[in-house]
Amino acid sequence: APCMSAAAAEPACPGLCRSSIPFSAAAAAPISALCPAAGGAQQLSVLPSFGFLFDIDGVLVRGKTPIPAAKTAFQKLVNSQGQFVAPVVFVTNAGNCLRQEKAAQLSQLLGVPDQVMMSHSPLRMFKRYHDKCVLVSGQGPLLDIAHDLGFCQPITIETLREKHPLLDVVDHDRRPNVLVSVDLCFQVLSVVLFGEPVRWETNLQLIIDVLLTSGYPGNPYHRENYPHIPVLACNMDLMWVAEAQSPRFGHGTFMVCLENIYKKITGKDLKYEALMGKPSKVTYQYAEYLIRAQAAERQWQHPIHTLYAVGDNLMTDVYGANLYNHNSWEHELASAAAAHCRSVLVCTGVYNPHTEVPLDTRASIAETVFHGHRDFRFEPALVEPDHIVPDVDAAVDLVFQLENFAPY
């Protein structure tokens, strides 16, 4: 669907902007006190002029287990016909499965319609790489994912390893018994990192080989091969939350390994042609485009003036939402960008204070170590959420109150 043009509108409750009300006051005061209506009465709206961007892991589910508040929340968001009452996009940094598969999982767990955006979804826009031979790293149905996104000549790490059996030697049991010379007749022209792989040592070795040989991994390293061939990476999460009590390594951890190995060998920084997934701006541009397309399909006439990004991670969900507000969009998908994106932090995932929602939210989010990606600067203001709530159900209630929204 084409991007819909819409005039920027003022947020429903301008007094709630970070610049005007301290977080402690906002957290302590009731919504009715912060958003007074003229004459003491509020006019409720039945048509949405806002959209939701929901994270999945840590907000709606933990691993394969639904978070109880999620089902309650979506009973409020879905009408009797099974349709959303406001534009909704699920924005996950997962990248090791097809979008359709993730959508089916979410529908089965929560009974919600299909509106899933994966970390790799924006790769559809990078058409200049679609007809080139690309090396893909990750796990799951990598070739299916690549083809679904438009890539015509993807090659997996495992296929490259089979073509070059001398390259992967860390695991002695996987070393070839008989040396076979294979003539690889094509050049790898770019690398796409979908998500964390299973055999990190194999992926790290072969990706480095490709970068240091300009796409011919059987050749000797050449230090003059810089800048290296393009690298596109999805999902920068250092850690993520599943059923375990503590966060687990994410694809961002793998990227840290790759970046440091490359720099240790070459003395130069590994460069990314593009970074996708939260908190990158291209992800929010694409999500905003999907929100507008959904509103146009439903024929909702009100312009979308606010996006509410509901997540559990300061360094991805909150940082990305705030970064969205700091950018003037020049991309063709964002020609009618929403006026504002507000971050709503839930306490059921990576961010979990194990206490009641704190009154002094600034103190509760103090960070001594920056867990974001190397190419994103740490700015305290960018990890300051607009709102902190216990769970996603409370987030939906909060947004409905802020927007004076009553769909039923």
Where residue 250 sits, what CATH number does that domain have?
A: 3.40.50.1000
Q: How many CB atoms lie within 10 A of CB 46?
A: 9
Same-domain pairing of 261 and 133: yes
Please write the tens of the pLDDT for every residue from 233-253.
999 989 887 788 888 899 999
Residue 372 lies in a domain: yes
Same-domain pairing of 144 and 241: yes
CA 271 to each of CA 135, 170, 263, 375: distance values in angstroms, whole numbers, following the listed order: 16, 26, 10, 9
Same-domain pairing of 140 and 111: no
Same-domain pairing of 287 and 387: yes
The H-assigned helical ranges of 183-230 are 200-212
Name the residue among 185, 156, 181, 187 with its Cα closest to residue 166.
181
Q: Looking at 238, 258, 276, which one is the last position of a domain? A: 276
Please write the tens of the pLDDT for every residue from 306-351.
999 999 989 889 999 999 988 644 454 444 556 689 999 999 998 8
- Looking from the CA of 54 toward its CB, the CA atoms found within 13 Å total 28
Q: What is the pLDDT of residue 111?
A: 56
Non-local CB neighbours of 139 within 8 Å, separated by 6+ positions: 96, 195, 196, 197, 198
Domain residue limits at 372 = 14-119+279-402
Say if CB 35 and CB 16 are below 8 A apart. Answer: yes
Q: What is the pLDDT of residue 11?
A: 32
Same-domain pairing of 245 and 147: yes
Task: Give the CA angle between residues 221, 255, 88 to the nearest 5°.
Answer: 140
Q: What is the pLDDT of residue 184?
A: 60
Same-domain pairing of 334 and 358: yes
Average pLDDT over residues 10-38: 35
* pTM value > 0.75: no
Same-domain pairing of 41 and 93: yes
Confidence at 362, pLDDT banded by 50, 70, 90:
low
Same-domain pairing of 385 and 329: yes
Name the residue among 137, 118, 101 with its Cα closest to residue 233.
137
| Domain tally, the chain | 2
Average pLDDT over residues 67-80: 92
Residue 13 scores a pLDDT above 60 = no
Average pLDDT over residues 378-400: 94
CA 50 to each of CA 165, 244, 369, 388: distance values in angstroms, whole numbers, following the listed order: 54, 34, 34, 19
Per DSSP, the residues of 269-332 read: ----SEEESTT-HHHHHHHHHHHHHHHHHTT--S---EEEEEES-IIIIIHHHHHHHH----SG
Same-domain pairing of 270 and 336: no
- In eight-state DSSP terms, residue 381 is G
Residue 30 scores a pLDDT above 90 = no
Same-domain pairing of 220 and 326: no
Residue 25 scores a pLDDT above 60 = no
Q: What is the pLDDT of residue 378?
A: 80
Same-domain pairing of 347 and 370: yes
Q: Looking at 276, 297, 326, which one is the last position of a domain? A: 276
Please write the tens of the pLDDT for every residue from 270-289.
999 999 999 998 899 889 98
